[in-house]
Amino acid sequence: MDIQISESGLTFRNGNFVIDTSNRQEINLLLQENIGGFRKNPLLGVGMINFLNSNDLTDLKRIIYSNVGDAGNTLDSITIRDNKIDIDCEDY
């Protein structure tokens, strides 16, 4: 459980922070942030923008698996098709 954030910042409901499971939020942040973007763990980060025009997505999948596992999540599968990434992750 964690405080939820959106693209516009912190998420509020009825004047309070929204607290919910954080797997999806953590994975979204990992995918967006480049390596070195997390002060406490500078080796984390996928930097998806760097793969924008890539034809070989094998490296992207490998980096996602590695980052999600290093962040303490359990990743079941990744599917990349038609410029969309589907990540099946175990909620905790």
64 touches 45 (CB < 8 A)? no
Please state the pTM of the whole predicted model. Answer: 0.69
Rounded CA-CA distance 18/88 in Å is 23
Question: What rounded mean pLDDT belongs to the chain?
Answer: 82
Q: Could you tell me which residues come within 8 angstroms of residue 16 by beta carbon, excluding any fewer than 6 positions away?
A: none
Max mean pLDDT range (13-22, 44-53, 64-73): 44-53
pLDDT at 91: 60
Nearest CA to 21 out of 71, 91, 72 is that of: 91
CA-to-CA distance for 78 and 85, rounded, in angstroms?
A: 7
Helices (H), 3-92: 23-32, 58-70
pLDDT at 92: 46
CA angle 36, 61, 37 (to 5 degrees): 10
With H, G, I as helix, E, B as strand and everything else as coil, classify residue 19: strand
Highest mean predicted confidence (pLDDT) among 12-16, 19-23, 88-92:
12-16
Domain coordinates in residue numbering, the chain: 2-90
